[in-house]
Amino acid sequence: MLNRRDFLGAITLPPALATAGLRLSPPYLNRTGAEIVDDLARYRGTASAIARDEDFWVEVARAFTVDRTLVNLNNGGVSPSPAWVQDAMKRHLDYSNLAPSYTMWDILEPQRESVRKRMAREWGVDPEEVAFTRNASESLQTCQFGYDLEPGDEILTSTQDYGRMITTFEQRERREGVVLKQIELPVPAEDVAEVVRRFEEGITDRTRLILMCHMINLTGQILPVKEVVAMARARGIPVIVDGAHALAHFRFTLPELECDNYSTSLHKWLFAPHGTGLLWVRRDQIADLWPLMAAPERMDDDIRKFEEIGTHPAANYLAIAEALTFHQGIGADRKEERLIYLRNYWAERLLEHDRVRLHTSLKEGFACGIATVEVEGIDTSELRDWLWGEHRILTVAINHAQFTGLRVSPSVYSTLEEIDRFSEAMEQVIRNGLPS
């Protein structure tokens, strides 16, 4: 098998690429997922050391088919999948189309159960508590609509929760007469007790439900789920946990959060096929939560009632298995350390400039790979547009009532050369402003 050293010796790179290291996309090498995982397994060292080993991350990057004519720093929105995850989905889809009522329903669909078991094992829960959905929004809306509420009942969340989830509760307000209350959280939030206090302060005798993020999509802020859940449980208030950006991003197991439900997307940090998500519901809570789409009464206690959405592809969900194998091949600890390293690589550089404000904590445990940065005196949306128009760099403009800034989220395939290009472009704006 061609190793990296032989590969580099067999090609001639342009000078700019040669000095930066290997910067080629996967089509240059046609390798199987097993070969990639095998190569990664040969690396030894602590997670912190591997996070800085560019040879290791070149191997990871070669699994993807990303467009290197641009710099994608919006992996928090949706991530590309490795080539062999895409291939698995296509293979399952091709087989499905041979005779779908047989090949898809009778042959492929039952294989979902082994994927369910693997996902449950990875995050430390019972397979009978894991449902597959299309995304975190579907999982969350299952919970948001799944609790019975009466007119005048209050729902508590923060002003930094995901817009679609706030819209979901606003619809319940209009339709059912419930009341949505929102609290403000610090930016960044580095005091666990203060976050818990603010949620607790928002509770009244009419509060029936709380929605909170595990990781806030606006800034990458990690919130103390376990502590808020304990406070709310003592008052008999269920907590819906939005984990859209957290699962497979940084290390944790679901039991350690001690929550009753957890919703996430798998096409973000697990790199699973687009349109795959997960809903975990504690087994003793399943019967009390209505599914988003109707299921027969006999399924009241069955986690699969949350998967009753009519005809759906088997291919997307079976290819989650390859994504999980890739995640395990990288190693959750090494992945987390790499994402933190990339964040610090650009953030610490930009923070050397007086006009830069970071709305994300760099302290351990309060964030991971996502961070939001502001250049004082520069319009955030115009900066985003300039980065894309002039440099083909993808970021997200965050314009919130409490703060503004660019959300930056590299991934495991991102190179230091790409991060340097982003940093250099930002420094150009810091020095000279945006062109008029």
Q: What is the 3-state secondary structure (H, E, C) of the chain?
A: CCCHHHHHHCCCCCHHHHHHCCCCCHHHCCCCHHHHHHHHHCCCCCHHHHCCCHHHHHHHHCCCCCCCCCEECECCCCCCCCHHHHHHHHHHHHHHCCCHHHHHHHHHHHHHHHHHHHHHHHCCCCHHHEEEECCHHHHHHHHHHHCCCCCCCEEEEECCCCHHHHHHHHHHHHHHCCEEEEECCCCCCCCHHHHHHHHHHHCCCCEEEEEEECECCCCCCECCHHHHHHHHHCCCCCEEEECCCCCCCCCCCHHHHCCCEEEEECCCCCCCCCCCEEEEECHHHHHHCCCCCCCCHHHCCCHHHHHCCCCCCCHHHHCHHHHHHHHHHHCHHHHHHHHHHHHHHHHHHHCCCCCEEECCCCCCCCCCCCEEEEECCCCHHHHHHHHHHHHCEECEEEECCCCEEEEEECCCCCCHHHHHHHHHHHHHHHHHCCCC
Residue type, 76: G
Task: Tell the residue number behind the tokens 């209050």, with chain if given.
Answer: 154
Residues 390-404 have a mean pLDDT of 98
pLDDT at position 236: 98
pLDDT at position 34: 75
Residue 240 buriedness (CB in 10 A; 0-12 / 13-18 / 19+): buried
Task: Tell the residue number behind the tokens 């040969």, with chain if given.
Answer: 42
Residues 215-221 have a mean pLDDT of 98
- Using 50, 70 and 90 to split pLDDT, how confident is the model at 218? very high
The yes-or-no verdict on residue 131 having pLDDT over 90 is: yes
Residues 232-248 have a mean pLDDT of 98
* Domain 86-325 CATH class label: alpha beta
The yes-or-no verdict on residue 142 having pLDDT over 80 is: yes
Residues 382-406 have a mean pLDDT of 98
- Using 50, 70 and 90 to split pLDDT, how confident is the model at 31? low
Handedness of CA 88, 408, 399, 140 (dihedral sign): positive
Residues ≥6 apart with Cβ < 8 Å to 67: 25
- Using 50, 70 and 90 to split pLDDT, how confident is the model at 81? very high
The yes-or-no verdict on residue 35 having pLDDT over 90 is: no
Q: What is the 3-state secondary structure (H, E, C) of 159-215?
A: CCCCHHHHHHHHHHHHHHCCEEEEECCCCCCCCHHHHHHHHHHHCCCCEEEEEEECE
Torsion angle, alpha carbons of 263, 80, 314, 144, to 10: 20
Residues 194-204 have a mean pLDDT of 98
Distance (Å, rounded) from C-alpha 315 to C-alpha 98?
A: 13
The yes-or-no verdict on residue 171 having pLDDT over 90 is: yes
The yes-or-no verdict on residue 48 having pLDDT over 90 is: yes
- Using 50, 70 and 90 to split pLDDT, how confident is the model at 425? very high
| Averaged pLDDT score across all residues of the chain | 93
The yes-or-no verdict on residue 158 having pLDDT over 90 is: yes
The yes-or-no verdict on residue 3 having pLDDT over 70 is: no
The yes-or-no verdict on residue 5 having pLDDT over 70 is: no
User: What confidence tens digit (pLDDT) does each residue in 95-119 have?
Assistant: 999 999 999 999 999 999 999 999 9
Residue type, 111: Q
Rama region for 276: left / alpha / beta (φ>0; ψ in -120 to 50; rest): beta
**Are the C-beta atoms of residues 203 and 233 closer than 8 Å to each other?**
no
pLDDT at position 18: 36
The yes-or-no verdict on residue 187 having pLDDT over 90 is: yes
Residues 260-268 have a mean pLDDT of 98
The yes-or-no verdict on residue 8 having pLDDT over 60 is: no
The yes-or-no verdict on residue 29 having pLDDT over 70 is: no
Residues 170-197 have a mean pLDDT of 98
- Using 50, 70 and 90 to split pLDDT, how confident is the model at 393? very high
Percent above pLDDT 90 for the chain: 90
pLDDT at position 10: 31
- Using 50, 70 and 90 to split pLDDT, how confident is the model at 281? very high
Identify which of 23, 132, 26 has the alpha carbon closest to the alpha carbon of residue 84: 26
Dump strand ranges (E) for 205-289: 207-213, 239-242, 261-265, 277-281
The yes-or-no verdict on residue 17 having pLDDT over 90 is: no
pLDDT at position 11: 28
pLDDT at position 41: 87
List where CATH 3.40.640.10 sits in the chain: 86-325
pLDDT at position 436: 84
| Domain 4-62+331-431 sits in CATH 3.90.1150.10 | yes
pLDDT at position 36: 81
The yes-or-no verdict on residue 24 having pLDDT over 90 is: no
Identify which of 422, 344, 429 has the alpha carbon closest to the alpha carbon of residue 73: 422
User: What confidence tens digit (pLDDT) does each residue in 309-361 have?
Assistant: 999 999 999 999 999 999 999 999 999 999 999 999 999 999 999 999 999 99
Distance (Å, rounded) from C-alpha 273 to C-alpha 83?
A: 11
Is the model more confident about 14 or about 217? 217
pLDDT at position 345: 98
List where CATH 3.90.1150.10 sits in the chain: 4-62+331-431
pLDDT at position 33: 73
Element holding 15 (H helix, E strand): helix 15-20
**Are the C-beta atoms of residues 340 and 47 closer than 8 Å to each other?**
no
Distance (Å, rounded) from C-alpha 366 to C-alpha 385?
A: 29
Residues 163-171 have a mean pLDDT of 98
Distance (Å, rounded) from C-alpha 433 to C-alpha 436?
A: 9
Query: Which three-class secondary structure state does DSSP give residue 371?
Result: strand
pTM of the model: 0.92
